[in-house]
Amino acid sequence: MDDLRQKYIDAIANAADEGALEQLRLQAVGKKGEISLKMRELGKMTPEERQVAGPALNALKDEINSALAGKKAALADAALEERLRGEWLDVTLPVRPRRQGTIHPVSQVTEEVTAIFADMGFAVAEGPQIESDWYNFDALNIPPEHPARQEHDTFFMHRAEGDNRPPHVLRTHTSPVQIRAMQAQGAPIRVIAPGRVYRCDYDQTHTPMFHQVEGLAIDKDISMANLKWVLEEFCRAFFEIDEVELRFRASHFPFTEPSAEVDIRCSWDNGTLKLGEGDDWLEILGSGMVHPKVLAAGGIDPNEYQGFAFGVGIDRIAMLKYGIPDLRAFFDSDLRWLRHYGFAALDVPTLHAGLSR
């Protein structure tokens, strides 16, 4: 039995991998393993012999099993070590002196907007770009025959022949994330939801894919005044000007009541846009108080809670802030355009260090 012990303990210690280890396990303590066979012979022994051999065989089996487990763990550790060595990456390497690429204005503006709203206590929420028509429309108080469905120039996904369920859509706005946020976290809520949206439209200021940022605040004591303050604060910070004046113009969205489109005071002297002064107004976003039916669709009691929501075109405010004339160029991947309008990769926008340097 000592020989048997020595043979397996040595072999286990020298096993090269898990496969070899498994082979040894079968050979020693598997159903037809050497030790198992020896245990079967116990029946043929005299009681005296059995009293000695039984416990010894059991102890040997235990010892081999724990040697196998120990070696298995050691092999796994070694494999992990090896993998970690292989995947090691020196993140302290300095950037190459020659600038390789730039941050796209859409990414830059998304970061800026996120920094500003984070400072006001808004978290970032997300939803899928392929959305069910319930989230994109019904839950937002846009029933099937509502004219707003036409206005959205929706892209519909394909359904298999014979499948009569309403098709999924490419989301036409970020507003479905309102519903998803309500369902996921309940009230109170303070979130923004930046992301891609899709509408079948193409000209100097429209592309089939563009970006919006949704805002949503829900609590027990929220009014239009809170909406106005938040938007003014946002515009001041985002456009980096001290004076902003916003005009709330009565409007209509099925998912807000009352609804307002918001314009910012501006001037167009000699063809250059200046925000915060002048006699012109420029529309920048849609907003309103969340419709009670929308709260209910999100599982929030409209008798207890209310809130405001708004939706801003990210590309649109990027064009305004950085003087970019044509939206289509955003998505052409023209290197000259990207070098001209792009931002340095390491200048992460923060409120304390400056949004755009």
Phi, psi of 136 (to 5 degrees): -75, -30
Stretch that binds ligand PHE, among 218-226, 235-243, 280-288, 329-337 (CB under 6 A): 280-288
| Count of residues touching ligand PHE (by CB under 6 A) | 11
Judge contact between 105 and 330, C-beta under 8 A. yes
Tokens linked to 346: 């390491």
Mask of contacts with ligand PHE, 155-174, x by CB under 6 A? Answer: ------------------x-
Which residues partner with 275 through β-bridges? 266
Q: Determine the interface stretch with ligand PHE among 98-106, 160-168, 221-229, 281-289 (rule: CB under 6 A).
A: 281-289
| Residue 18 amino acid letter | E
The one among 127, 194, 254, 288 contacting ligand PHE by CB under 6 A:
288
Which residues face 343 on adjacent strands? 103
Shortest Cβ distance from residue 214 to ligand PHE (Å)?
Answer: 6
Residue type, 94: P
Q: Which range touches ligand PHE (CB under 6 A), out of 21-29, 202-210, 242-250, 283-291? A: 283-291
Per rule CB under 6 A, is residue 310 in the interface with ligand PHE? yes
Nearest residue to ligand PHE, scored by beta-carbon proximity: 311
The beta-strand segments (E) located in 27-182 are 123-124, 130-131, 169-170
Q: How far is the CB of 129 from ligand PHE (least distance, A)?
A: 14
Q: Cα(6)–Cα(11) distance, rounded to whole angstroms?
A: 8
Q: Which of 175, 235, 319, 330 binds ligand PHE (CB under 6 A)?
A: 175
Q: Does 176 bind ligand PHE (CB under 6 A)?
A: no
Is residue 254 part of the contact set for ligand PHE (CB under 6 A)? no
Distance CA 295, CA 183 (A): 10
Give the nearer residue to ligand PHE in terms of CB position, either 30 or 188: 188
| Residue 179 φ/ψ region, left for φ over 0, alpha for ψ in the -120 to 50 degree band, beta for the rest | alpha
Distance between start and end Cα atoms, the chain: 79
- Site for ligand PHE, rule CB under 6 A: 173, 175, 214, 253, 256, 286-288, 309-311
